[in-house]
Structure 1
Amino acid sequence: MGQNEGHLEPSGWNAMGGDFNTILSHADRVGSDTNRQGEMIDFAKTIEDCRLLDPGYDGAEYTWAKNWLFERLDKMFVSEAWTKIFEASRVTNLPRVTSDHGPILARCKMTRPNTGGSGFRFQNMWIRHESFMEIVQDCWEQPTGAAGLLNLQIKLI
């Protein structure tokens, strides 16, 4: 049995959010005194095992409601690697409108490397160089460790 078997190992820049259908603390619930201690401990242990962090939130305190029961079931978590790529991650709990769940909005600001020099300037003469397309293709195909639009943004920096 491997050392990490049974544990979820996050890789890269991970963010996970949605309806987890449980609470992390008693402060995440109002309107019921049902004992959810076991669920809360299991959820907290899972978050710790996955090495996820809670970036906090602003906006509505509770993301789900039914009758007089209010809970914060919808959350977002990020990996430590995520916090090194994004200088700020902000989660806003938006108001419930047509559902018993309120949506969560996540916004991230990517850190900009300090190049110390002036901005890049393309020189038209480069396209006449015999190796131009080969060099561009080699650079473009270098892996970034990211996917989707984040991959494109990293390549364009």
Structure 2
Amino acid sequence: MMTGELRTEWLYDLSATLAPWHDIGDFGGGKRRIVPVTGGRVEGPHLSGDVLPFGADFFVERTDDVLVLDVRAIVRTGDGAEIYAFYPGLSHGQSLGPFGDLPEGERYFRTTPRFETGSEKYAWLNRILTVGVGWLEPPNSVRYKVYAVL
């Protein structure tokens, strides 16, 4: 029976290395920047593999200092399946309004990863929603903890 409570389960940890960003410029709605993903790793109980060097974050820095994330990546699992992942999200260092202020020096960095794959083994990824908590690791890495919404 549904209770209305949101349940999540840890799906995987992701670590990725990033190249320097490319600045497209201000298009009127913010500054478009592209940060190439040069590789990485996904590790979890149901999904593990390499992040291939084909992705990037096509983010927009809005005038209110909020980053609108648009990450796209390909994961190749140990058994050869390829999974396209796209991560829309937000990142900022501002107050969360009625939910309080962030600890000093911390950023709100949340994503809602979705997946596409033709692999029968991993087809369940095509049918789930996930949420991710991310953080930067200087000088050129990003990490995420991703949870399946059950």
- TM-score clears 0.5: no
Structure number with the higher strand fraction is 2
Structure number with the higher helix fraction is 1
Bigger-Rg structure (1/2): 1
TM-score (norm 1): 0.28
